[in-house]
Structure 1
Amino acid sequence: MTNKNKAILFHGILIVLLGMFFFFLIFTLEMILSFFVVKPDDIYSRHFRLNHVFKPNKPDDPLRIHYNSKGFIEDYEVSIHKPSRTCRIFYVGDSFVAGTALVYHHQSLPALVEQKLHDRYPDVRLEIINAGVSSYSPILYYILIRYYLLNYDPDVIVLNIDMTDVDDDYKYRHGNFIEDEYGNPWGVPGIGIYGVPFLDTHYGIIQATKSLKIHLFLYRYSNIYRFLLHLFRHQIDRNIRQKINSQNSVYIKRWQWCTDEWDETTSGNVNYSMGIVRRIIHLCRDHGVDVVLTGVPHYQQFIKEDSGSRCWSARPHRVLEELAQEENIHYIDSYGFLKPHILNTKQSEFYLPDDMHFNEQGNQLWAQAHYKFFNDHKTEFFNEEKYK
């Protein structure tokens, strides 16, 4: 063997050994950091029509929230055939309704309302089913109700419109959105986060670039990457903010319909989403199902800026109430009920400190607003003579 061949062999072996060393080093670091770095929740499955659904799990799985085989947040299987003389109510909404930010699913809004009503009317046969799914919005609410929930013969559907819903509708209808021949939502096939054209960020809806998709891939599968993100989170967040602002890449700013004045784009997006809500109401009416409409109050709608004006406007709640009046359906004024309790309080009293969702105490207060509504309208929805 010549000296040249020996050198080539030596360098080849060296490269292989270095590759094995770095592979072993990365593997070891990944294993060690897996004990210290929180892994993102893997609770969703792609769906050909609903975009994403909760993965079913077993009651004895060590998880906070139980998802049955249909994706409902219940610890029992809901039968297609409704038991006789039973009032069946579905709660439809996003993560606020699902309660995924809470510790256990029995602390969710639907579970609390059901417990309060069972305690008040023990002789009434009542089912309140949690059909909330994180990041759902009117487009997916319509699809969920039309193609799935109506098969369960519901008596009432409580439709909870969140302040994020207009933004989410924008993402879905500019993605893999399919309409039927009448312009009704038919499906939003799940293509995974790496195939979507837009991403929802703290700053608004932005284009899903290749670099962002690589970031999401590493965030999902690498403990080392998540550790580095946590270590340098302030610098990274500042760089991302500067990059987004410099590129002017925000298509839709978040929370734009939570302002008193809307530009043309916001008005168009709101009108579209409210149009889907009307389609839901008409669909349910055609099937003899009552719809109760309500909005999800956010903390920023209760607090004031230094100027004395609200950080966020309550205009979305007024829009929903007016829509309910026009369609002659019931409306739960959750914002009005919560306002005297939350006005000028600290966020941590009723909401999670670093999150937009209610904490356990906030969910209890929110559930009280819904319980009061049903208690005030008991003869219309579940009188004891009909459902005893």
Structure 2
Amino acid sequence: MRLFASLKAYLKPAAIVIGIILVLDLALAQILKRGTEFWAGTYPHMDHRVRSADYHHTFAPGREVIERWGRITYRFATNSLGFKDAAPRAVKAKRDGPRLLLLGDSFTEGAGYGFPETFAGRIAAAMDKNGVEVLNAAVGSYAPIIYNLKTRYLLDKVGLQFDHVVIFLDVSDIYDEAKGYRTDARGRLIVPPETPEKTSRVIGHFLRDNSMIGRAFTLIRDQLSGARKALKLRWRAASESGESFFSVSDAALQIYAITDKAAGRWTYDDEAWRDHGADGRQKAAGQLDRLFTYLKNRKIPMTLAIYPWPDQILFDPEAPRHLGFWRDWAAARGIQFIDLFAAFTDGASVETLLRYFIAGDFHWNEQGHALTAAAFLRQFKD
């Protein structure tokens, strides 16, 4: 009994202290959430990326948030159509002047950068001087089946007016057509139903977003995970390049971080070609054929633009399975073809990957976006 009484005497003040700490912890977290960008920038909410029953996924309209891509934090905004834009704004369905619609995946969305820094934003700024409005309907992980469905949705259901469509076909679109999207027996896209998060994940996110202690724990865990991945990459780069583990060059790290990706090597790797390349390209061509016919019936021109991944820059600069195929496909249909390969592959070297791509990522940095915009504007004829 004495022991119990003694413990009880200590437990009560301990509980009070713990309670005070928790209250202060939660209160300070709320202050930081409302008063600093650091809180939003470390683990930003992604509720502006939403499901679409018509074409799988899209952006919520009229949003302005902080997004994070790897180590890059940037401002992200959408207009009233749910398209990435410089700032929230109302876009009218009808317009007196010409309007260009861009479609693509994360490259065209501009992963890691606000709209003005992306190639789409740069094209929009250049064409605005000539009275042409550019709308960017791209979203990460889109593929030809989505380009087809979203274009029809915008014209048939939204009543959006545009005079030209440019498809920026990504190397990974072929993989996504083969592996990422499924259709039913009638060829309709299957949009998986939303599934509720596991209770453990909900609790973890709540503590991360509302507690200083919870956020500190999550940050430490993720930093350790990132450090482990960096060490594994350095070890691989050192082993395969013959360089010292402690003095591996930035070039070697970049090569092994952003090349030899499953979705990118089908253009030159026969096993990947057999696994998903041939099937995915056939499906992509079928979707783009349907989109081309649909637009042609509405007298809306279509342009096809092709660009390389780091894999093609280093290992397959001519890319006959991709660049060659789509050049011929466009020519057979009288479609304007924009070759963005040459801007990256002419005189290409490992330095090209360092100059135009985000460190450790196969997406473009600001210089890569600027190069893409300039190459497109030189070739595009409306």
- Distance 1:162-1:235 versus aligned 2 partners, 3 A rule: same
* Residue in structure 1 matched with residue 165 of structure 2 by the alignment: 157
Q: How many angstroms does 1:285 deviate by? A: 1.6
* Residue in structure 2 matched with residue 227 of structure 1 by the alignment: 220
* Residue in structure 2 matched with residue 281 of structure 1 by the alignment: 292
Match of 1:99 among 110, 114, 131: 110
1:24 correspondence with 2:22? yes
Determine if contact 1:73/1:130 at 8 Å carries over to the other structure.
Answer: yes
Rounded Cα–Cα distance in structure 2 between residues aligned with 1:40 and 1:288: 42
SS of the equivalent of 2:78 reads: coil
Q: How many angstroms does 1:188 deviate by? A: 2.5
| Cα shift readout 1:297-336 (whole Å, capped 9, x = no counterpart) | 2233222xxxxx5499563222222221233311101112
Q: How many angstroms does 1:369 deviate by? A: 1.7
Q: How many angstroms does 1:355 deviate by? A: 1.7
Rounded Cα–Cα distance in structure 1 between residues aligned with 2:100 and 2:65: 26
Determine if contact 2:117/2:369 at 8 Å carries over to the other structure.
Answer: yes
Rounded Cα–Cα distance in structure 2 between residues aligned with 1:298 and 1:128: 25
Match of 1:293 among 254, 279, 304: 304
Q: Which amino acid aligns with 1:162?
A: D
Paired-residue identity, %: 21
Determine if contact 1:163/1:255 at 8 Å carries over to the other structure.
Answer: yes
Match of 1:355 among 361, 379, 382: 361
Match of 2:51 among 46, 49, 52: 46
* Residue in structure 2 matched with residue 188 of structure 1 by the alignment: 191
Determine if contact 1:49/1:189 at 8 Å carries over to the other structure.
Answer: no
SS of the equivalent of 2:351 reads: coil
Rounded Cα–Cα distance in structure 1 between residues aligned with 2:195 and 2:24: 27
1:368 correspondence with 2:374? yes
Q: How many angstroms does 1:190 deviate by? A: 5.9
* Residue in structure 1 matched with residue 351 of structure 2 by the alignment: 345
1:55 correspondence with 2:60? yes
1:128 correspondence with 2:120? no
Q: Which amino acid aligns with 1:50?
A: Y
Q: Which structure's relative contact order is higher, taking Cα pairs within 8 Å and 6+ residues apart?
A: 1
Rounded Cα–Cα distance in structure 1 between residues aligned with 2:220 and 2:148: 39
| Cα shift readout 1:85-110 (whole Å, capped 9, x = no counterpart) | x22110111121122322x3122222
Q: How many angstroms does 1:159 deviate by? A: 0.4
* Residue in structure 2 matched with residue 319 of structure 1 by the alignment: 325
Q: Which amino acid aligns with 1:24?
A: L
Q: Which amino acid aligns with 2:22?
A: F
Rounded Cα–Cα distance in structure 2 between residues aligned with 1:271 and 1:344: 32
Determine if contact 2:178/2:277 at 8 Å carries over to the other structure.
Answer: no
- Equivalent pairs counted in the alignment come to 331
Q: Which stretch shows the higher mean deviation, 61-70 or 223-232?
A: 61-70
Match of 2:268 among 259, 265, 271: 259
Determine if contact 1:89/1:156 at 8 Å carries over to the other structure.
Answer: yes
* Residue in structure 2 matched with residue 306 of structure 1 by the alignment: none
Determine if contact 1:229/1:236 at 8 Å carries over to the other structure.
Answer: no
* Residue in structure 2 matched with residue 81 of structure 1 by the alignment: 94
SS of the equivalent of 2:346 reads: helix
Determine if contact 2:164/2:301 at 8 Å carries over to the other structure.
Answer: yes
| Cα shift readout 1:260-308 (whole Å, capped 9, x = no counterpart) | 52214432233222322222212212222111011232233222xxxxx
- Distance 1:173-1:277 versus aligned 2 partners, 3 A rule: same
Question: Could you say which structure has the higher helix fraction?
Answer: 2
| Matching of residues 158-177 of structure 1 within 5 Å | 158-170=166-178, 172-174=180-182
Determine if contact 1:139/1:172 at 8 Å carries over to the other structure.
Answer: no
Determine if contact 1:160/1:295 at 8 Å carries over to the other structure.
Answer: yes
Rounded Cα–Cα distance in structure 2 between residues aligned with 1:326 and 1:218: 55
Rounded Cα–Cα distance in structure 2 between residues aligned with 1:51 and 1:30: 39
Rounded Cα–Cα distance in structure 1 between residues aligned with 2:19 and 2:172: 47
Q: Which amino acid aligns with 1:295?
A: I
SS of the equivalent of 1:159 reads: strand
- Distance 1:163-1:41 versus aligned 2 partners, 3 A rule: farther
Q: Which amino acid aligns with 1:143?
A: L
Q: Which amino acid aligns with 1:225?
A: T
Match of 1:141 among 143, 147, 168: 147
Gaps of 5+ in 1: 196-209, 240-251, 304-308, 382-388
- Distance 1:52-1:311 versus aligned 2 partners, 3 A rule: same
Rounded Cα–Cα distance in structure 1 between residues aligned with 2:204 and 2:143: 23
Rounded Cα–Cα distance in structure 2 between residues aligned with 1:237 and 1:361: 24
Determine if contact 1:300/1:312 at 8 Å carries over to the other structure.
Answer: no
- Distance 1:320-1:190 versus aligned 2 partners, 3 A rule: farther
Determine if contact 1:54/1:71 at 8 Å carries over to the other structure.
Answer: yes
Determine if contact 1:90/1:157 at 8 Å carries over to the other structure.
Answer: yes
